Structure 1
Amino acid sequence: MSTTSKLTFALNHMVAPGLKPAAFFALCRELGISDVEIRNDLAGNAIVDGTPVGAIRALAADNGISITSINALQRFNEWNATREAEAIELADYARDVGAKALVLVPVNDGTGQGDGERQRNVRTALSALKAILGDRGVRGLVEPLGFEICSLRSKREAAEAIEDVGGTGTFRMVHDTFHHHLAGEPDLFPGMTGLVHISGVDDPAVAVPDMRDPHRVLVDAGDRLDNVGQIRALIAGGYQGLLSFEPFSPAVHKLAEPRAALAESIEFIRARI
């Protein structure tokens, strides 16, 4: 099997956050994409607009769409009663909508970064989440963020925590090409990767430490993050999962015709892998 035949793309709803679920699923269908990530942070959209979970599940089924993840439980490694309630609500939603996984995003405000403290916090959270997710048949996808203020930047620390809590049956990691570049961590952990988020940065003026979500566009020839190199290395290491587009740039969100831009980016990546 050729390398390019192993590439399976997905769309995170952040590619076109203004689209309602029906239009978003139709966009996927037009692109020949059958896997999506839906989010709980898009105002006026599922999940937060109150649309019954059964309606989203039926809509996905009618369009031949598989929901790969709910994105996301925020501040997962700040475990408390509030977080537990949020985790249970999202895990229930993931189970009921037929989603395979729940993305777990760490605290990203400069707190919880102390050596010892951050490792302990991750293990506490994963130990609790192991039961919550396991009981519902939902996988947890831990997503280290590369920002300097993040409490979990290292995939190595995440992988070690997953193993320490006996969580390899429940948890995997998200390899985000943007955050991997920012973190500067060389190791990839393809065997522990359950999902890859892809986005590019083509602004030549912004320094790496100053890169932020609004810089994240679709992957093209101007990409400074070496998405192509990262994807090649992950595949060479055995990764065979989804490559999910997750651009945060307002320039992408304002596109009148996102389908053409996404098709162009898909072709750009396929031609180089």
Structure 2
Amino acid sequence: MITFLAGGDETCKLIRGLRSFADDSDLAVVAGTADGMWVSGNYALPALDAVLFLFSGMLDTRDWSGIRGDSCATARFLQTMGRSEPIIVGDRERAVHIARSDLLAAGLPLTAATEVIAGQFGIASTLLPMSDDEVHVAVECDGEWLHLLEYERMQPPVSAIQRVVPVYPRRPRAGAKALACLAASRAVVIGPDNPVSRVLPFLCCEGMREALEERFIIALSPFSPRAPHRPEIEAMLFAEGFSPDAAGVRRLYGDMVDVFVQDARDPVEVEGAMRLNYALTSQGRAESLAWDLMAVIRQHAGA
């Protein structure tokens, strides 16, 4: 089994590429929950939901979030009532939030609630949240703290970013089933998502880093000259004391990663990095990269 740590849309693109030639039953995803937010009484988890929608064939791949063809009548009507929400939620997407919140209110942990919803969608892959405990990322911009989703919606100048921190009432524990999933995996892939806001929250979960250190891990740099520029990643790396490039990402991940993958055209030199041609800008390129990664896994982690 191959397990992905999925924190954002770039990993979803890579997973879609791999699904073109791999069975869903051989894939697992531990999804980040640090973008969780209660919206009008319901628990939104965009990163987790993106994976749910991807595997169920509903994901809107124009922006890699939400449900394809969804309407926003509820959100718009709330606006007319003077009750604007911090993020725009589609109507069918909201139904998923309601179902999740009902399951949580009934006493189910987030892992079990996710399994119920995935089962209702007929998903064959293993899909689990990183933790059953609530945690979210906050971004400090010019002295004001913003929830990660608010930051992404407002898109303040990257020069305003001062700190990026996980927020929780108590240190979250990695989900028991997530840890068991990692232990059963022959390889773990950390996709090219934002390493600070989307990947580091995994490592703040008690037990997660130790579990990952026991696995064969491939991590992909989020920087590619052939992909759209992502200045927010550079700014967040700099704010956390890392160089705003692939070398900074490699240092952030440390010894936990066995193979660090860079785009072949990235001018930044990272000692020991594997160079591959990639940019997740099309289905074909995602499939090509996924094929190359599978070759690496077969070579280093067995068939």
Q: For the superposition of Structure 1 and Structure 2, which TM-score range results when normalised by the shorter chain? A: 0.3 to 0.5
TM-score, normalization: structure 1?
0.36
Larger radius of gyration: 2
TM-score of the pair, normalised by structure 2: 0.34
